[in-house]
Amino acid sequence: MKLFIVILILLRTLSGDTLVDAGSLNVKLATPQQTTTIPMGSYLGTYAYLPSHRYVISANVEGFITEVSVKPYASVKKGQKLFVINSPKLLDLESNYVDTLLELQFYQKEIQRLEPLAAKGVVASKRYLESKNQFDKLLLSANFKRDVLRAYGLSEIQLNKISAQHKPYPTLTITASADTAVSEISVEVGSFVKQGETMAKLVDTSECHFEVDMPWKLAETLKKGDNLYSDTSVFTIAAMAPQIDPVSQTRGLDLHENKGCDGRAGASINVSFYKKYGAWKIPSTAVVGFEEGYGVFVFSKEGYKFLKIELLAQLEGYSYVSAPLKGDEQIAISSVLALKSAMKGSSE
């Protein structure tokens, strides 16, 4: 015959609270401890620069590198010259654009000459209209070719210079797209690059993030925007992985360190995190789960009162909870499942 502990359940209602008498149960008690820091554990994480802060400098057009104006790892300003490419293809495109501009100029003068003559009947209006139509076609063609040159990286200043002088300039200057640092240079003077080929990589070091994997149950107590603290810094949760890793049972966190990472991108270090939060520290054996959440049993002379709590974290045998507890109260840290069963049985 199996040995069962007989529980005497006496239900009373005092001030609206339901109490459970533990009867002959030997319930161990503990006093909750107030705390303002909630440890979240120590984790190995990696510093990395944000994807939006990394830039790839590619060749807009094929050609020969005639100038490299920046050194590896140098800091550069937005618009600063990085490379100069001499491109035969760019020469062809610009020459074709100039030919169109010259032809457009000819027909512009022609319609200016024919318009008054056609109005007086000196020349046939058909001749004027033919010149006008050809001018319109050339204007569309010139605008299209200008857009193509713009897509290849020519600035408005360069395009205006070509248009004004009717002279091609087959060199393209590649500039920095933001205030950054050079992390890699892939070309040298005299080398030939194809269109789209990577020439350099830049990175904005003003902001980086710290990637860490945390047990999913602990991660569930966190949300975007929460602050996590270490002994030397403050981290803000910028994003959380949308799903749990099925192998490690962890959830990835993207943390932004408020002081920056000081050029440590790529480094992996161990960091011990904690939260600053007014909470109670209690043994994890005191916490009992219900469908609606979690709770503890608070001791009184009349019996044990069930009290709902908010579970903030669980670590190394302790739970950190938010609850309307008092410093002189004691809670059950053993036989809590028996108390739960007794309370459920009494309510049925």
Reported as a single tens digit per residue, the pLDDT across 171-205 is: 999 999 899 999 999 999 999 999 999 999 999 88
Positions of the chain with pLDDT lower than 70, given as ranges:
1-18, 345-348
Laid out side by side, the sheet with 75-76 consists of 54-58, 198-203, 180-185, 75-76
* Prediction pTM value: 0.62
Q: 214 - beta bridge partners?
A: 251
Are residues 236 and 210 in contact, defined by beta-carbon separation less than 8 angstroms?
no
Rounded to whole angstroms, how far apart are CA atoms 255 and 275? 14
In this predicted structure, what is the pLDDT of residue 1? 35
Q: How far is CA 242 from CA 216, 219, 262, 296, 338, in A?
A: 11, 12, 29, 31, 37
Instruction: Note the Cα 216 to chain centre separation in Å.
Output: 20
